Structure 1
Amino acid sequence: MMQKKIAAAALSLLACMALGAQENAADIKAEYERQVRYVGLAGVGVETIINRWEAAAPEDPEVYVARFNYWLSKSAAESVVITRPQKRYLGNDPVMTLKDSLGRDVYYFEDVNYDDEAFGEALKAIDRAIELNPQEISYRFGKITSIMDYEKESPDMTAAEILSLIDDYQARGEGWTYAGETLTQELFCQGISEYCYRFFRTASPASYEYFLEISEKMNKLYPDEVVFIDNIGSYWQVNGDSRKALRYYRKALKIDPEDYAANNNIRLIQSSQSRKGRPSK
């Protein structure tokens, strides 16, 4: 009888210890959130709290998201002003415009220089979060966005991550979440379309090609999502092939006659051709 009581007491103690550890991790997370509100993602004391949080809950992916945000913030430490000959850079307007000695416009843009070592630590952290919960898409989006910001006009790694995510989304099927809630196909397509939009705004030769590649891939998988049909039309419109662009815009309108992008771009093409004296086809 005494042995049974001792065993029961031991089990009760273990349960209390486990509960205490859970409460401790939750308390540390709350402490982290308070500290970040006061000092920012990489402020004084934040890393120490993350280390304690990881010790208390080493399998919690949110720990590594916090570490990712810490290192990402540390990596983007230097804000600079750069010059470009074009009026836009990464889709942004210049902060000011001056003339050079020949009277030509020189455009000045705000930019961020990243510390490679700190950025590498950020990627290690988010990869660990993804390893622990591979179907939480906010982790994937966070990684992709950070790489896109880092790569700027040469988004090779960004495109590879997006294409890999699309394949993974198809292969894994159900079970995907966004911030813990069930991820819908609509939200997934919206997320990918936003990255396509950023590629388009970046307007570098490489970003335009990835814009087309990803849009074509998504169009094959989701043929009724007109945004990707519009994207393909926009690619050809920018590259001067109005006939091919019109074909895609009209294809989009067969699915959604009210599609704003297709209707608007058709009007732009027709107006341009009218000014040049060429009928649209």
Structure 2
Amino acid sequence: MMNKLYIALLFFIIVISVNAQTFQEQFKDLVTKKDTVAQLRLLQKWEKTNPDDPELFTSWFNYYATKSMKPLISLDKKQKGKQSFIAKDANDSVAFYLNESTRFDADALKSGFAYINKGIAKFPERLDMRFGKTFILGKIEDYDNFTKEVIKAIEFGQKINNQWTWTDNKPVEDPLNFMLASIQDYSVQLYNTNDDAQLPNMQKIAETVLKYYPDNIESLSNLSIVQMLNKEYDKAIATLTKAEKINPKDYIVLNNLAQAYRSKGDKANARKYYELTAKYGDNDVKEFVKQQLEKLNEKQ
């Protein structure tokens, strides 16, 4: 009798413990276990129970985003990742690389985007929803929509005085600087594509930031880089001069000014700004400047 009572009581305690978990906590546990079948059942139950829970929308999005990812193995002439397998021929020369990448299922992504779009519409101040969508757009290299989402966040931030929230509707700490730092990361991501087709997107983001925050040095630098790559050296110098006035000791700005003057053929100003770069930069920067000045002097 005692054993039966103990078992029944233990079962009762376990049931209470499971029920005490929120849907969100249960979903996180299932994600850890990689049990997608149970995740789907839980999400369907969650949606019937609390269809307006903001965490439901992010969880649906995470479910579909994960479901969309499919490993892809390809044989290529070029290495596309640090973990690529190298196959060599009889002469010990590289024959090909076995590269692993990820492809994305369009239908699963479509479902995921549908849920996160609903979430953003209902909870527009939730920055995690916006940036979660932006992250996946970057992963699938849809950089036009990636850029549009970044710009929407900047502009909506103005309407709410950047009073952003995150998971569980908790306020974002130092929201303006957090948003601007994230946007800088997105701008760097565009630059790192090494694709000139992304220069207009970099420019749009920089100009939108500067529309509201004209003293944002990172965006001034980003804009100047686009201008230099477009060979608009005078425009780049004007943009960087604004940044220099804001912070005369920013060695990145000073180095970019040196590069702009050098590209323009103005060696005197190039030398001036290289020397200022070395003055305010660390030892690595000083060594870089030394090399640049040597190259500059060689061409005299």
Q: TM-score of the superposition, structure 1-length normalised?
A: 0.74
Greater Cα shift, 115-124 or 175-184: 175-184
C-alpha distance in 1, partners of 2:251/2:61? 38
Where 1:78 maps in the other structure, the secondary structure is strand
Identify which of 173, 178, 197 aligns with 2:161. Answer: 173
Alignment CA distance shift 1:79-1:25 (3 Å): farther
Do residues 134 (structure 1) and 129 (structure 2) align? Answer: no
Displacement after TM superposition at 1:62 (Å): 0.4
Count of aligned pairs:
246
Alignment CA distance shift 1:275-1:126 (3 Å): farther
Identify which of 186, 200, 205 aligns with 2:191. Answer: 200
- Counterparts of 1:35-114 in structure 2, within 5 Å, are 35-39=30-34, 43-81=36-74, 83=76, 95=84, 110-114=100-104
Displacement after TM superposition at 1:45 (Å): 1.6
Residue 164 of structure 1: aligned partner: 152
Kept in 2, the 8 Å contact 1:97–1:108? The answer is yes
Residue 299 of structure 2: aligned partner: 277
Residue 8 of structure 1: aligned partner: none
Displacement after TM superposition at 1:256 (Å): 1.5
Greater Cα shift, 30-39 or 259-268: 259-268
Alignment CA distance shift 1:249-1:127 (3 Å): same
Kept in 2, the 8 Å contact 1:252–1:262? The answer is yes
> Identity over the aligned pairs, expressed in percent?
23
Residue 262 of structure 1: aligned partner: 253
Where 1:59 maps in the other structure, the secondary structure is coil
Alignment CA distance shift 1:246-1:80 (3 Å): farther
Q: Which runs of 5+ in 1 are unaligned?
A: 1-22
Aligned residue identity for 1:58: P
Q: TM-score of the superposition, structure 2-length normalised?
A: 0.69
Displacement after TM superposition at 1:217 (Å): 1.8
Aligned residue identity for 1:124: A
Aligned residue identity for 2:151: L
C-alpha distance in 2, partners of 1:221/1:27? 40
C-alpha distance in 2, partners of 1:84/1:254? 48
C-alpha distance in 1, partners of 2:298/2:232? 15
Residue 252 of structure 1: aligned partner: 243
Q: Which runs of 5+ in 2 are unaligned?
A: 1-17, 263-269, 271-291
C-alpha distance in 1, partners of 2:82/2:257? 26
Aligned residue identity for 2:164: W
Identify which of 108, 112, 125 aligns with 1:118. Answer: 108
Relative contact order, CA 8 A, sep 6+: which one is greater?
1
Residue 4 of structure 2: aligned partner: none
Kindly provide the CA deviation profile for residues 83-139 of structure 1, in whole angstroms up to 9, marking residues without a partner as x.
Answer: 587x9x7xx77947899xxx9998886432111100101101111221231101110
C-alpha distance in 1, partners of 2:243/2:298? 26
After superposition, the CA RMSD in angstroms is: 3.4
Displacement after TM superposition at 1:140 (Å): 0.3
Residue 182 of structure 2: aligned partner: 191
Residue 149 of structure 1: aligned partner: 139
Greater Cα shift, 65-74 or 201-210: 201-210
